[in-house]
Structure 1
Amino acid sequence: MFIMLETVGKSLLVFILAGLCEIGGGYLVWLWMKADKPLWYGILGGIILAAYGVVATFQPAGFGRVYATYGGIFIGMSLLWAWYVDGFRPDKYDILGALIALVGVCIIYYAPRT
């Protein structure tokens, strides 16, 4: 049981790190393109986005399952990022949708396979 929890914990940390890279990098590119920030925002954002591609490979599962799971985690992290960084306030439907996505991806990634 402890080993399973440790494995889940490690994979969640990798998913969160990947999410921070993708959302943070994308946000810097967004600021460069939409908020007239300097070019270096876009360049740094691109580098961080490339790091996301590397970080995702640290997961032990195959590409399809990792990216499907990451998609649901990305939904929740995007709402949290927008709330914390942009002042966006998710409503009950945003939260419900994110929770449904997270339950779904936990089934995809963590369900025991025979």
Structure 2
Amino acid sequence: MVKITLLFFLTALAEITGCFLPWLWLKKGASGWLLLPALASLTLFVWLLTLHPAASGRVYAAYGGVYVVTALIWLRLVDGVKLSHWDWLGGMVALGGMLIVVAGWGSK
């Protein structure tokens, strides 16, 4: 479970980075050269999703919970926005949902 969760966090970081870099280019006037590492990051994101042992729909469902938490951490660390108690509660609920989905991967 820990290995899968860490893989999901790495996957989410690759996705957020791959989307953030073009945002910098489009919204903040950063260099268009940022599109190259963005492409690499999104390619890594797609590849990382293929490393999970479950059916794609289950992987996407579980990944969603980790993505929520990763996006909140990004919001705090990169965007500098202080998280509210509601942010933390929502993130923990989403992460709990991911753990429930992953726990059922072995059942039929």
In the superposition, the TM-score normalised over structure 2's length comes to 0.91
Following TM superposition, where does structure 1 have runs of at least 4 consecutive aligned residues deviating by more than 3 angstroms? none
Q: Is structure 2 residue 73 aligned with structure 1 residue 49?
A: no
Quick one: which of 35, 40, 43 aligns to 2:33?
A: 40
Paired with 1:49 and 1:88, the residues of 2 have a C-alpha distance of 25
Alignment match, 1:5? none
Alpha-carbon RMSD: 1.2
Alignment match, 2:51? 58
Which structure 1 residue ranges, 5 or more long, are not aligned? 1-7
Paired with 1:9 and 1:93, the residues of 2 have a C-alpha distance of 25
Aligned-pair CA distance for 1:31: 0.7
Aligned-pair CA distance for 1:46: 2.2
Paired with 1:89 and 1:42, the residues of 2 have a C-alpha distance of 29
Q: How many residues of Structure 1 are paired with residues of Structure 2 in the alignment?
A: 107
Paired with 1:16 and 1:105, the residues of 2 have a C-alpha distance of 12
In the superposition, the TM-score normalised over structure 1's length comes to 0.87
8 Å CA contact retained: 1:65, 1:108: yes
Aligned-pair CA distance for 1:25: 1.1
TM-superposition CA deviations, 1:63-100 (whole Å, max 9, x none): 00100111110000000011011101111111111111
Q: Is structure 2 residue 31 aligned with structure 1 residue 11?
A: no
Amino acid paired to 1:113: S
Amino acid paired to 1:105: M
Amino acid paired to 2:69: G
SS in 2 for 1:105: helix
Paired with 1:63 and 1:84, the residues of 2 have a C-alpha distance of 30
Which structure 2 residue ranges, 5 or more long, are not aligned? none
